[in-house]
């Protein structure tokens, strides 16, 4: 994975200096701004495809991964506790598999999943500062399109319902100096949605319920303000 290779290179470049040089501790009122490159890796599952209100018995979709930039902002309530807002944007294609493999690509969609977490930082005085977090995610799907060659019909449309879910994360900040640091982070987000189709070649009322539940693997740099 490219993100993993980049992580190894950055750690090799910064790790020894971070251990050798004391860095200033996090304090209440600090703002931490991180820019990351993340890989959004869906852990997807789905129910059956419903055609005109009838359960088709066909099961299985796959959501492809995407590698994108991410911005997050953390406010330190005190030396250990912080509140983080995570902002990102990704694009995905939903493809039929298993019982739906013959459908090929089914949906193209863009995803905006702002996430708010409460973090606990274990070692605010250290140059290596691990943390864990938990919170809530809201996922907004937009610019959805019916994809592939099997389902489209005249005026074919699809709408994915927005999703609320829980989120969990773990990561570490590795100090470069008093204000700058390297960040490694992994998140798990619950995303459940139903795709509702209309005017497709298969009929006018189909839907797919899907649990996307992605893991997000990230590496980046941050600065304290």
* pLDDT, tens digit, 9 for 90 and up, residues 87-123: 998 999 888 777 667 667 878 999 999 999 999 999 9
Position with higher pLDDT, 54 vs 26: 26
Burial of 163 from C-beta contacts in 10 A (0-12 / 13-18 / 19+):
buried
Name every residue whose Cβ is closer than 8 Å to that of residue 175 and which is 6 or more positions away in sequence: 18, 21, 23, 127, 128, 129, 181
Name every residue whose Cβ is closer than 8 Å to that of residue 176 and which is 6 or more positions away in sequence: 14, 17, 18, 23, 182
Predicted model pTM: 0.80
**How many distinct structural domains can be found in the chain?**
1
| Greatest C-alpha distance within the chain | 66
Interval 150-193: pLDDT, tens: 666 656 788 999 999 999 999 999 999 989 999 999 999 999 98
Range from 50-54, 121-125, 194-198 carrying the lowest mean pLDDT? 50-54
pLDDT value at 84 more than 50: yes
pLDDT value of residue 16: 44
pLDDT value of residue 58: 61
CATH code where residue 80 lies? 2.40.160.20
Identify the domain containing residue 86 by its residue range: 2-224
Distance, in Å, from the CA atom of 34 to the CA atom of 30, rounded to the nearest integer, reads 13
């Amino acid at each position: 994975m490219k993100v993993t290779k980049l992580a190894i290179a950055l750690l090799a470049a910064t790790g020894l200096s971070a251990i050798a040089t004391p860095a200033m501790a996090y304090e209440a009122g600090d703002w931490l701004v991180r820019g990351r490159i993340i890989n959004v890796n869906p852990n997807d599952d789905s129910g059956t495809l419903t055609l005109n209100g009838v359960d088709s018995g066909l099961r299985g979709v796959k959501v492809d991964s995407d590698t994108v930039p991410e911005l997050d902002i953390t406010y330190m309530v005190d030396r250990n506790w912080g509140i983080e807002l995570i902002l990102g944007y990704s694009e995905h294609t939903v493809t039929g598999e298993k019982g739906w493999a013959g459908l090929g690509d089914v949906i193209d969609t863009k995803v905006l999943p702002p996430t708010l977490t409460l973090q606990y930082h274990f070692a605010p005085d250290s140059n290596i500062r691990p943390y864990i977090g938990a919170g809530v995610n809201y996922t907004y799907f937009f610019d959805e399109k019916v994809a592939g060659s099997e389902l489209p019909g005249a005026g074919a449309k699809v709408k994915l319902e927005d999703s609320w879910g829980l989120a969990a994360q773990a990561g570490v900040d590795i100090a470069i100096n008093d204000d700058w640091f390297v960040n490694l982070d992994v998140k798990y987000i619950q995303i459940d949605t139903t795709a509702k189709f209309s005017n497709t070649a298969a009929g006018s009322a189909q839907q797919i319920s899907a649990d996307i539940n992605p893991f997000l693997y990230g590496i980046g740099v941050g600065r304290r303000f």
